[in-house]
Amino acid sequence: MAKLTVNGIKSLAKNKVGRHPDGGGLYFVVPATTSGGPGIPYWMLRYSFNKKRREMTLGKYSDLSLAEARAEAALKMKQVRGGQNPLALKKQSEMQEIKTVNDLFEDWQEDNRKRLKHWNIPERVYRKDIAPLIGELNLDQVTARDIRRIITSINESGRPTISNDALLYCKQLFNHGIKIDVVGANPASSFKVSDAGGVEKSRDRALTLDEVTTAFKTFREHQHVFTRDNYLACALLVLLGVRKSEICEAKWSEFDLDKAIWELPKERSKSGVGLTIPLPELALEMITELKVRSSDSEYVLPSRRQAKRPHMGEDTLNRAIGKMFGYEPGKNTNPPNLMGDMEYFRVHDLRRTCRTLLASIGVPGHVAERCLNHKLKGIEGIYDRHDYFEERKSALTKLSLQLRDLL
């Protein structure tokens, strides 16, 4: 077998997909891209340990020359001859690199992405409320006082539910650290829900028709505070009963405006079930307006400022409603309360309002539940696979007629 040469490697990297041996277990690998062409080449070592064939990446071609790759391969093979597994040593070395809380989070989040459907939720809470306070600290520097500072800070911002979530994620994060042996104790272990946001009561807030009228009239009168995008998004939540994330992250590719339907994909549905949503005339008018407002964006509600996400954020609507009620987290002084003596409501309460209004106009429970893309329960859920599209279309049309002069 001929040894690789520097010039030969350059040619292989450009033209020859495959594994090219150099001897001693060292290979120059040129992977194939999805189009079949050569990808980014790298060095790979093959060896046997405990009678099993192993493979490990040594580094990219751009980072290791031929001579450096041979030297690295020789070092790894020396470890094998000494009864050590280079792969295990590499993992152990990587583990030792987990020094800060941010390092530990990245390792924990890697597992979350594999096992959690909504792995972005703990990441959002961590980035916003935990990392700014302890992310840069070394693991052995974090104390229970730091955990108390996190939950106290969130409580003071008026978000008890998030305070509970943050405490839960801190406990899970440091338990992960104990599991992989990078911390000896969990600084969050002694805290309880009562120390954070308290026991959460199940919400049952739904707006009456008079409240819907007043709320949306007030929104329209203060568009400098409550933007038109926010208004239309909230109106669609009442009209269609969809979830906040389903409308905030919606893409135009999901809509057929000629057929007046919205194909909500299962990947974006909390229930894991896709749904064809009929669009009554009033909803269609609003979505058509959003089409114009979104310009060339692929999203129905694109982000209106520089942000990591290209669509409306998770907190945008709740923050906008909170501001109308005279509350704005992070500000030294709160804005004026523009909603008068109306009882406070959140975005999810608008979805609950839709469900309540459907019941008030005589829509059968099983049809109303499917309008909200809830799975039917019990025997009915097991045996009834009918999607009730026509019934849902009739129900949402009837609701939209009732709300036309209110929204």
pLDDT of residue 133: 94
Domains defined along the chain, listed by start:
6-94 (3.30.160.390), 101-195 (1.10.150.130), 209-403 (1.10.443.10)
CA dihedral 207, 249, 246, 232 (to 10 degrees): 30
Give the whole-angstrom CA distance, residue 353 versus residue 357: 6
Neighbouring C-alpha atoms within 13 Å toward the C-beta of 243: 16
Residue 357, pLDDT score = 96
Nearest Cα to Cα of residue 72 among 50, 42, 48: 42
Cβ atoms of 398 and 207 closer than 8 Å: no
* pLDDT tens sequence for the chain (407 residues): 678 899 999 989 888 889 999 998 999 999 988 777 888 899 999 999 988 899 988 889 988 999 999 999 999 999 899 998 888 887 766 656 788 999 999 989 988 888 887 788 899 899 999 999 999 999 999 999 999 999 999 888 778 888 999 999 999 999 999 998 888 899 999 999 888 887 756 568 899 999 999 999 999 999 999 999 999 999 999 999 999 999 999 999 999 999 999 999 988 887 777 899 999 999 999 999 999 999 989 999 998 776 668 999 888 999 899 999 998 876 777 889 999 999 999 899 999 999 999 999 999 998 999 999 887 665 444 444 468 899 999 999 999 999 999 98
Asked if 101 and 135 touch (Cβ cutoff 8 Å), the reply is yes
In DSSP notation, 257-282 reads TTTTEEEE-GGG-TTS--EEEE--HH
Q: Where are the beta strands (DSSP E) in 110-247?
A: none
Rg of the Cα atoms in the chain: 28
Q: What are the residues whose beta carbons fall under 8 Å from the beta carbon of 161, sequence distance 6 or more?
A: 197, 200
- What was the pLDDT predicted at 201? 61
What count of other Cβ atoms lies within 10 Å of the Cβ of residue 98?
A: 20
CB atoms within 10 A of CB 263: 13
pLDDT at residue 334, rounded to an integer: 80
What are 381's two structure tokens? 């859920």
Residue 67 class from Cβ within 10 Å (0-12 exposed, 13-18 middle, 19+ buried)?
exposed
Q: By 3-state DSSP, what share of the chain in percent is helix, strand and coil, each rounded to 5? A: 50, 10, 40
What value, to the nearest 5°, has the Cα angle with vertex 220 and ends 216 and 222? 115
Q: What angle do CA 328, 330, 331 make, to 5 degrees?
A: 65
What Cα–Cα distance (Å) separates residue 94 from each residue in 72, 88, 97, 99?
17, 10, 5, 10
Q: What are the phi and psi torsion angles at 255 (to 5°)?
A: -105, 140
| Residues 69, 59 contacting (CB under 8 angstroms) | yes
User: What pLDDT sits at residue 111?
Assistant: 86
User: What's the rounded Cα separation, in Å, for the pair 324 and 342?
Assistant: 11
- Tell me phi and psi for residue 140, to 5 degrees: -80, 0
pLDDT of 384: 45
Euclidean distance between CA atoms 155 and 176, whole angstroms: 25
**pLDDT at site 383:** 40
